[in-house]
Amino acid sequence: MAKSVGIVGARGHVGAELIRLIAGHPDFELAFVSSRELVGQRVADHFPDFADRIGGELRYVSPGNEELPGLGADAIVLALPNGKAAACVAAFDVAGADPVIVDLSADYRFDDGWYYGLPELTRGQYSGQRRISNPGCYATAMQLAVEPMLDALAGPVQCFGVSGYSGAGTTPSDKNDPDKLRDNLMPYALTNHVHEREVTRQLGHEIQFLPHVASHFRGLTITANLPLAQAFERHQVLERYRGRYADEPLVDVRDDAPWVSNIAGRHHVEIGGFTLSPDGRRLVVVATEDNLLKGAATQALQNLNLAFGFDEMAGIPAAEHNA
């Protein structure tokens, strides 16, 4: 029997990707889709390619938090801005309801009571938890780029990041204004970014993150500078990364440096461009991903699959797998 999934906050870019992924999944169905701005409109009208799966009866709704538990979904995905998840979660606690809850915001990424769902690195820590915190988009790319060398690091890792403006959400700001971003690269939150703190906490190693937003819509790239405690040869580095991710269909380790223009609309992370300093004690690694997919919606689907015991890749378009 299909499991039902409700999406709270579906108007945004990530919410739209979630609708597509859930609608295309063999074992999930949409229980409800909430959006204050679109309330009353038919969901299928916004996703004609999935109209048959969504059906003509499902419409956007705008329930209050206290109404959410009564909608009876097996799982809830919270696609809300930071700071908004707690009120929703509290409503389920008060009602004594216990669906699987996947939170896409940063609100529970520092809460040990929630499973931190970066499957490639943490699936071994999953033991049936019903509360799952989805990692940040940049945080996903940074952790996957750094983790294979974690035991060889000699100091803080610097990560220079550039994201498309979809990462700034739909609320108007300088960071998602195409006119202001044209021919521009906009730095922001250059210290203490939430993803800097998130990755430092998860890896147990200091990460220094320098984020920027550019004029493209989707896709991010990070260039990580890793100081090493001993000299490495390039083939040793490649062996580490290829060995670490050999069985991970959503991590593609490549020889050359990946381009952000090639990752838009795809479900995996690409890691490559491995370059060592002449003394072999400084490594530079490049990682790219679609911030709306593996950086958010695709990863949420992996976590939902994990929670319900489905194949972790179920519902993720097979053509995008890289194993």
Same-domain check for residues 246 and 256: yes
CATH number at residue 244: 3.30.360.10
pLDDT at 320: 42
Annotated catalytic residue, options 137, 269, 304, 313: 137
Same-domain check for residues 305 and 255: no
Number of domains present in the structure of the chain: 2
Three-state DSSP at 40 gives coil
pTM score of the predicted model? 0.95
CA angle 153, 156, 159 (to 5 degrees): 105
Same-domain check for residues 158 and 14: no
Same-domain check for residues 306 and 262: no
137 is catalytic: yes
Same-domain check for residues 145 and 281: yes
Q: Distances in Å between the alpha carbon of 129 and those of 125, 126, 203?
A: 10, 7, 21
Same-domain check for residues 100 and 217: no
Mean pLDDT of the chain: 95
Alpha-carbon Rg for the chain, nearest whole angstrom, is: 20
259 vs 271: CA distance, rounded Å: 10
Report percent pLDDT > 90 for the chain: 91
Same-domain check for residues 125 and 270: no
Residue 26 has pLDDT above 90, yes or no: yes
Least confident of 15-24, 33-42, 168-177, 301-310: 168-177
pLDDT at 321: 44
CATH number at residue 72: 3.40.50.720
pLDDT in tens, 250-308: 999 999 999 999 999 999 999 999 999 999 999 999 999 999 999 999 999 999 999 99
Which ranges of 133-292 would DSSP assign to H, the alpha helix? 137-146, 178-181, 194-203, 234-244
- The residue segments making up the domain with residue 260 are 137-290
Same-domain check for residues 81 and 152: no
280 vs 149: CA distance, rounded Å: 13
Angle between helix axes 298-308 and 13-23 (nearest 10 degrees) is 40
